[in-house]
């Protein structure tokens, strides 16, 4: 009798925990769109450790291949309200997220910023079909881009692997990913290099040749 009561108590406790866990789980809308920065979908009950409904918008234009994706799903607080960006002149990658934490809540729309202030920081710029950048052209960074990023990937073109090298500006969140962004395209790509360094100021770029010239003249005198 005692053992039966114990079993019944254990079952009741487990069922009670399941009800509590279910009651505490968040319900989020789950959907995807490749045409707009919003979408509608069905409700999904999140895992107990997923405490946010997260909306993510990704837009890129890499080697003239444009890509857009807006998604809503269950997520984590650590991935909320972050914007990652890298810019190689007209080539760019942008990803931003917004969160809310009530059942079937709605996040504010996410848009790609059309206008950003120019910084007094520059990075070497290139966009070449090569294993390593050869160009020394300078690109003025914008917005919150304070890092210089080198991005190298290999893509299948005409049944051959072709390596592309790009260099430009990026923000801290982009560099903090610690992994390369997948190149979006019909045939995909394998990234082989993704690294960041501190951007240099325009003033230092202007002063360096002048200082070098003065030192050279001093050596000659």
136 and 105 inside one domain: no
pLDDT in tens, 27-73: 999 999 998 888 989 999 999 999 999 999 999 887 778 889 999 99
The whole-number pLDDT of residue 65 equals 81
Least confident of 8-22, 37-51, 93-107, 189-203: 8-22
How many other β-carbons are positioned within 10 Å of the β-carbon of residue 152? 19
Q: Which ranges in the chain belong to alpha helices (H)?
A: 2-24, 172-176, 202-220
96 and 145 inside one domain: no
| Residues 54, 192: Cα–Cα separation, whole Å | 29
Which residues, in sequence order, are CB contacts of 58 under 8 Å at separation 6+?
A: 67, 68, 69, 70, 93, 94, 95
139 and 105 inside one domain: no
85 and 164 inside one domain: no
The whole-number pLDDT of residue 218 equals 46
Which residues, in sequence order, are CB contacts of 157 under 8 Å at separation 6+?
A: 187
In the structure encoding, which two tokens stand for residue 189, read together?
């790509």
Whether residue 173 contacts residue 96, with contact meaning beta carbons closer than 8 Å, is answered with no
Q: How many domains does the chain have?
A: 2
Whether residue 151 contacts residue 192, with contact meaning beta carbons closer than 8 Å, is answered with no
31 and 98 inside one domain: yes
- pLDDT(219) > 80: no
Residue 12 inside a domain? The answer is: no
In this predicted model, which residue has the larger pLDDT, 187 or 13?
A: 187
50 and 106 inside one domain: yes
Residue 191 inside a domain? The answer is: yes
CATH number at residue 196: 2.10.60
CATH number at residue 105: 2.10.60.10
Whether residue 119 contacts residue 143, with contact meaning beta carbons closer than 8 Å, is answered with yes
For 144, the domain range is 118-205
pTM: 0.71
Whether residue 111 contacts residue 98, with contact meaning beta carbons closer than 8 Å, is answered with no
Residue 219 inside a domain? The answer is: no
195 and 145 inside one domain: yes
Question: What is the signed CA dihedral for 40, 41, 47, 49, rounded to 10 degrees?
Answer: -10
**Cα torsion angle, 76, 194, 86, 60, sign:** negative
**Cα torsion angle, 39, 41, 43, 44, sign:** negative
| Residues 134, 42: Cα–Cα separation, whole Å | 50
76 and 137 inside one domain: no
pLDDT in tens, 99-143: 999 999 999 888 877 677 888 899 999 888 898 888 778 999 988
**Listing from the earlier edge strand, what are the strands of the sheet with 138-142?**
138-142, 118-124, 200-201
133 and 195 inside one domain: yes
In this predicted model, which residue has the larger pLDDT, 182 or 66?
A: 66
Q: Which residues pair with 64 in a beta bridge?
A: none
């Amino acid at each position: 009798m005692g053992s039966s009561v114990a079993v019944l108590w254990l079952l009741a406790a487990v069922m009670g925990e399941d009800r509590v866990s279910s009651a505490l789980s968040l319900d989020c809308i789950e959907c995807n769109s490749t045409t707009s920065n919003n979408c509608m979908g069905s409700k999904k009950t999140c895992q107990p450790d997923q405490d946010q409904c997260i909306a993510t918008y990704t837009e890129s234009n890499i080697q003239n291949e444009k890509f857009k994706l807006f998604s809503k799903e269950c997520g984590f607080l650590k991935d909320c309200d972050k914007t990652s960006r890298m810019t190689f002149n007209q080539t760019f990658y942008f990803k931003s997220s917004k969160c809310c934490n009530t059942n079937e809540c709605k996040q504010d729309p996410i848009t790609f910023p059309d206008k950003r202030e120019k910084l007094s920081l520059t990075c070497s710029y290139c966009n070449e079909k090569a294993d390593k950048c050869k160009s020394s052209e300078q690109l003025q960074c914008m917005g919150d881009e304070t890092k210089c990023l080198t991005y190298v990937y290999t893509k299948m073109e005409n049944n051959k692997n072709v390596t592309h090298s790009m260099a430009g500006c990026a923000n801290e969140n982009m560099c903090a990913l610690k992994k390369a962004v997948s190149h979006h395209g019909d045939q995909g790509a394998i990234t082989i290099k993704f690294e960041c360094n501190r951007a240099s100021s325009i003033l230092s770029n202007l002063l360096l040749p002048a200082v070098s010239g003065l030192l050279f003249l001093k050596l000659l005198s």
